[in-house]
Amino acid sequence: MELVVATKNKKKLEEIKVILSGLKLKIGSLADCKKNIRIVENGKTFRENAAKKAVKAAAVTGKLTLGEDSGLCVNALSGVPGIYSSRFSGKNKSDAQNNLKLLKLLKDFPLGKRKAHYVCAVALADKSGLLGVVEGKCFGRIDFSTKGSNGFGYDPLFLIPKYNKTFGQLSEKIKHKMSHRYHALKKARKLIEKYIVKQVAS
């Protein structure tokens, strides 16, 4: 059985593959799809965007599809950048530019006022429609400068107090056991396993 991840982000795909390892699935992405699938992320929540991705891609591919939407929410900024995390500094801007904009907005805030959390919503769908949506979170703070080169997005700024290191500094092994994506995919894994059992039985 094949699972299509509704993304063209290679780093995100690899992270999902690692966390879902062990499932009897061939995991691919939209980059492997011959058809051009355009998904407009205009939902008001992570869950809405994840569902849109999963349902649209499943309808086109006819396969079990995982839609994922995630982002960073900063308390002092009333949850910003939130669902706009990837395009925080403009539609075609880089992770580095997004991080720089965030640092500028928080320049006058002490560490105690820099609480933030990552959110990840994961939706599953097949050609018949949406199967379910789950969510995971990870809590930390925003550091005063980028540190480390692991991960992507805001990882070099996302400080985990327990380790006093950012996701950019922590190993993948540690990150993949505590991240927002891990918590969401752990729940999604159960949905996928139930789906596989149902398909085999039918």
Angle at 47 between CA 42 and CA 50, to 5 degrees: 70
Range of the domain at 183: 2-201
Closest CA to 57 of 79, 77, 81, 33: 33
| CATH value at residue 120 | 3.90.950.10
Catalytic one among 69, 95, 143, 155? 69
pLDDT of 132 higher than 90: yes
Averaged pLDDT for residues 64-93:
95
Angle at 53 between CA 19 and CA 44, to 5 degrees: 105
Single-letter amino acid, residue 145? S
Active site residue 95: no
Number of domains in the chain: 1
- What whole-number distance in Å separates Cα of residue 122 and Cα of residue 70? 9
Model pTM?
A: 0.93
- What whole-number distance in Å separates Cα of residue 118 and Cα of residue 136? 8
Element (DSSP H or E) covering residue 12: helix 10-19
pLDDT of 36 higher than 80: no
- What whole-number distance in Å separates Cα of residue 69 and Cα of residue 47? 7
